[in-house]
């Protein structure tokens, strides 16, 4: 059986508004284009969410609150016809030196192993420089978004990243890349 391509998505600032530490599903505000963007990608890619949730380590949010918010996001997307294969989150601070906090490729490698993902055909999409490094460290293509905190951190980018406005722009770009590769 052929391996699957995947899209690894940051959560806050990419799929939903970044309003700080989200403790309750009622605080989740999807960008108006999130569902459309993910529906475009889903026929071609398996979808994963990978999010740093340092608020757990800082005491701003609990594991239970993060898991309830993640479950709400997955359920809302599923009700709209979008399947998230898995949501991964790191509960640590940078100072903890864990192996799972982005930009460590831990969760991409874990998903690749568990879900038989072809990393050479996969993408990371997020609004923080650590998201771009996360993808780069796993050997996948990364797209940096100007939504969320993207505009604020743009000058921190270190390379020739693809920079786009939001997840819908990224979906169009990814699909044009896939179509171009099939025609070559």
Give catalytic residues, as residue numbers: 10, 12
Residue 81 CB neighbours (<10 A): 10
DSSP labels, 76-110:
HHHHTT--EEEEEEE---GGG--SSSTTS-HHHHH
Cα-Cα-Cα-Cα dihedral of 64, 69, 74, 77, to 10°? 170
Token pair for 71? 């479950």
DSSP 8-state secondary structure symbol assigned to residue 11:
S
Token pair for 160? 């020739």
């Amino acid at each position: 059986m052929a391996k699957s391509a995947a899209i690894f998505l940051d959560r806050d600032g990419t799929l939903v508004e970044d309003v700080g530490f989200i403790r309750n599903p009622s605080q989740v505000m999807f960008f108006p284009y999130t569902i459309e963007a993910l529906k475009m990608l889903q026929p071609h890619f398996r979808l994963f969410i990978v999010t740093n949730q340092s608020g757990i380590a800082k005491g701003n949010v609990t594991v239970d609150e993060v898991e309830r918010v993640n479950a709400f996001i997955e359920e809302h997307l599923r009700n709209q016809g979008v399947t998230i294969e898995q949501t991964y989150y790191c509960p640590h601070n940078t100072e903890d030196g864990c192996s799972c906090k982005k930009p460590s490729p831990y969760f991409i490698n874990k998903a690749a192993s568990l879900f038989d993902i072809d990393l050479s055909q996969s993408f990371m999409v997020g609004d923080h420089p650590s998201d771009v490094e996360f993808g780069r460290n796993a050997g996948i293509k990364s797209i940096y978004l100007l939504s969320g905190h993207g505009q604020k951190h743009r000058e921190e980018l270190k390379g020739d990243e693809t920079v786009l406005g939001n997840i819908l722009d990224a979906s169009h770009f990814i699909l044009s890349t896939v179509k171009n590769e099939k025609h070559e």
